Amino acid sequence: MFPTCYNLLWYSWLFLLLPILCNPGKAFGGDGSPETKDSSLVVCFGEMLIDFVPTISGLSLSDAPAFKKAPGGAPANVAVGIARLGGSSAFIGKVGEDEFGYMLAEILKENNVNNEGMRFDPGARTALAFVTLRSDGEREFMFYRNPSADMLLQEAELDLDLIRKAKIFHYGSISLITEPCKSAHIAAAKVAKDAGVFLSYDPNLRLPLWPSAESAREGILSIWDTADIIKISEEEISFLTKGEDPYDDAVVQKLFHPNLKLLLVTEGPEGCRYYTKEFSGRVKGLKVDAVDTTGAGDAFVAGILSQLAKDLSLLQVMPLTIRLKKW
């Protein structure tokens, strides 16, 4: 579901940009040097699907009386978030050649997201997901992908020119679960890296989609060392480290690889931590009345990437954090 909680997140988490963007007007390049590309395009790769959300919140999926459909998929959420913040974004992925697929393509267009990299599969349906926020605050997911069109994107269908035009190439881990999408993902990231594009990775763990916990851990870590920026939650740290304390800096440092420029650890309402080769720190969250946290991580990523792509100076970032409001 496209994030509806921008007002809850921007005010608290975008202050993270202030210490990180300490080199005014410059963002990291794919090789670690300041970026010199004229483009501010962020290309998001992966899944786009239909979320079915209960009409009454606080119930389990089985107890929900009815559902309403909404566009979703983490990479697509990020692309839309960037565009809504005035940035330039594109989406690459595959949907079914069906009513839902065409609807999603049109929604991207309506939100000023470049959808030229979308492909339509005549033999597979657009993915569906049922999502609810239970009374205990935990989200519950049920996916319908057997297989869905997003899993069937092939390397030959990639828009390589679009990827090479990007300043940032953003992706998750769901596209690594099965072939042929896994090979397409790896090929796309290599094209981006070879073109000097900055690689952004949000694992976005969805354990029920993987064959096993171990395959999920191996799959997520298989491309870990290629990313320039990684956003991860404390739950994902615990999962990847097999139960180690995600609040221990020494544990987090184990996930920092030589090519990494920035590691972001989100902590829900508590805020986030950030780590670079030179320094690290923590930004506390602001107290807000949370309505629904679905898409919160995607909103966070969209805010970070939209600023890095634009190369905004420190002074330009500060008023932006004040102006942002609920969409």
pLDDT confidence of residue 150: 97
| Tokens found for residue 40 | 């501010």
**Residue range 242-253, pLDDT digits in tens:** 999 999 999 999
163-179 average pLDDT score: 97
**Residue range 55-101, pLDDT digits in tens:** 988 888 888 999 999 999 999 999 999 999 999 999 999 999 999 99
Instruction: Give 66-97 as a 3 state SS string.
Output: CEEEEEECHHHHHHHHHHHCCCEEEEEEEEEC
pLDDT confidence of residue 318: 32
Q: DSSP class of residue 150?
A: G
Report how far apart, in Å, the C-alpha atoms of 12 and of each of 78, 137, 239, 273, 311 are.
18, 20, 26, 12, 21
Strand partners, 44: 91, 170
Q: Which of 43, 233, 210, 198 is nearest to 141 (CA)?
A: 210
pLDDT confidence of residue 222: 97
Sign of the alpha-carbon dihedral angle for 232, 236, 238, 242: negative
pLDDT confidence of residue 274: 87
| Tokens found for residue 115 | 């959808």
Lowest mean pLDDT among 76-80, 246-250, 283-287, 315-319: 315-319
Task: Give the Cα separation of 171 and 207 in Å (integer).
Answer: 17
pTM: 0.85
pLDDT confidence of residue 10: 40
Residue holding tokens 């339509």?
A: 120
pLDDT confidence of residue 144: 92
Q: How confident is the model at residue 295 (pLDDT cuts 50, 70, 90)?
A: confident
Helix (H) or strand (E) holding 132: strand 128-133
**pLDDT at 289 > cutoff 50:** yes
Sign of the alpha-carbon dihedral angle for 253, 255, 260, 262: negative
Residue with more model confidence, 252 or 4 = 252
Question: Can you tell me whether residue 185 is helix, strand or coil?
Answer: helix
**pLDDT at 113 > cutoff 90:** yes
CB 285, CB 267: distance < 8 Å: yes
pLDDT confidence of residue 182: 98
**pLDDT at 302 > cutoff 80:** yes
**Residue range 9-47, pLDDT digits in tens:** 443 344 444 444 434 333 444 444 444 455 799 999 999
CB 198, CB 165: distance < 8 Å: no
Phi, psi of 268 (to 5 degrees): 60, -135
Q: What is the percent of the chain where pLDDT is above 90?
A: 61
Q: How confident is the model at residue 284 (pLDDT cuts 50, 70, 90)?
A: confident
**Residue range 182-201, pLDDT digits in tens:** 999 999 999 999 999 999 99
Task: Give the Cα separation of 200 and 133 in Å (integer).
Answer: 28
